[in-house]
Amino acid sequence: MNPQPALAIKLGKLELAFPTLMGSGCYGSGEEFAPFADLSKIGAIVLKSVTRLPRLGNPTPRLVHTPAGMLNAIGLQNPGIEWYLERELHKYAGRPCKIVGSVAGFEIDDYAYVCERLAARDEIEAIELNVSCPNVAREGETFGCDPDLTARVVEAARATTNKTLIVKLSPNVTDIVAIARQAENSGADALAVINTVRGMAIDVETWRPRLGNITGGLSGPAIRPIAVLAVYEIAQAVSIPIVGQGGIETLADALEFFLAGATAISIGTANFTDPRIPERLVAELQAYLTRRNIASIEEIVGRAHVEIATAHQYEGDEG
């Protein structure tokens, strides 16, 4: 009998036993989900983004359920890096999975400062740079929408740590591939593709936007094809690993991302349907690879890449 297929993967220096990350902002600190999910069966938790200063977050309502997904506009609510290091971070020690910190900011210096402080802690094994939050009034997403600003943020963060740096990209751009290339060239170890897609919903009774922030970020199965395409195109342009994310709920969804070129997947909104989905996906991936006699998940990464078939020349009577 063959040995169990290998699900372990690497993102830069970050070694994960399973190719599954829990998306930032969807999974709290992990403790919230611990009663319902086996954290030893997931690769890593990406913590909620932290900023230099405390942020109250957006006014309510912050969530709207929409067809095949949901809109959110939380607004990076967090206690700020000082309070976070002092009061929160110790809780993450001893988790049965890896912990990835997430950094958001409004100035290049903010990113560098928070990244340095966070990465210096042993509880944190890698850093995700959130240059793509669509729900903050000022420059939050601007960094991820401009290749040069992306480059400057990544370079600044890179200078502060040797730990794995994952850059989370926004789909709300004209050319996500160009930004992915810049992030790679500036020192990113991996790319998280994609953050939420901007959207809005209007209450037709009150004639008002349904979100307190007016606009929000769309997640869930509604954005999956957008995310699969982004992974597919970026995979052709960069050589660093990609964490694919956007509406992954089932084995078939996960496989789409691996085949498009993702080395790992991130699960966010699906945890709101059933917190057992991540461990179920790992078991199903394992069974899938075994059934197909594939030794490791890495063997299927990017296997969907093909040339567009050329249509046969029509050779009719009229010549």
Partner 1 sequence: MIGMAMLDLHPRVAATTILERRELADGVVLLTLHAPELANATQPGQYLMVIPPSGEAAATALAVYEAEGKRVSILFFVTGKRTRELATLACGDRLDVLGPLGNGFDCSGDTRDVAIVAGGVGIASVWLCARELLRRGAHVRLFYGARTAELLVDAQRFADAGCELVLATDDGTRGERGFVTDTLVRSQRPELIYACGPSPMLRRVGEIASGFGVRAQLSLEETFGCGVGGCWGCVVPLSNASAQAPSFPPAERGGSDVVYARICKEGPVFWAHELRW
The residues assigned a catalytic role are 133
CA 52 to chain centre: 21
Nearer to partner 1, 88 or 155 (CB): 88
Two tokens, residue 194: 């994609």
Q: Does residue 302 touch partner 1 according to CB under 8 A? A: no
In angstroms, give the least distance from the CB of 261 to partner 1.
26
Q: Does residue 187 touch partner 1 according to CB under 8 A? A: no
Q: Does residue 77 touch partner 1 according to CB under 8 A? A: yes
Q: Does residue 209 touch partner 1 according to CB under 8 A? A: no
Choose one: 69-77, 115-123, 185-193, 302-310; the region binding partner 1 (CB under 8 A): 69-77
Applying CB under 8 A, among 11, 17, 42, 64 the residue interacting with partner 1 is: 64
Q: Does residue 70 touch partner 1 according to CB under 8 A? A: yes
- Check if the beta carbon of residue 14 is closer than 8 Å to that of residue 165: no
DSSP 6: B
Q: Does residue 60 touch partner 1 according to CB under 8 A? A: yes
Cα-trace Rg, the chain: 20
In angstroms, give the least distance from the CB of 92 to partner 1.
14
In angstroms, give the least distance from the CB of 249 to partner 1.
7
- Check if the beta carbon of residue 66 is closer than 8 Å to that of residue 222: yes
Give the C-alpha separation, 277 to 42, whole Å: 10
Give the C-alpha separation, 287 to 290, whole Å: 5
In sequence order, the 6+-apart residues with CB closer than 8 A to the CB of 180 are: 169, 191, 193, 234, 237, 238
> Nearest 5 degrees, angle CA 165-CA 43-CA 237?
45
Nearer to partner 1, 245 or 263 (CB): 245
> Which residues, listed in sequence order, are joined to residue 99 by a DSSP beta bridge?
45
Nearer to partner 1, 68 or 237 (CB): 68
Using CB under 8 A as the criterion, which residues of the chain lie in contact with partner 1 when the complex forms? 25-28, 32-33, 35-36, 48, 53-54, 56-57, 60-65, 70, 72, 74, 77, 79-80, 82-83, 87-88, 249, 269, 271-276
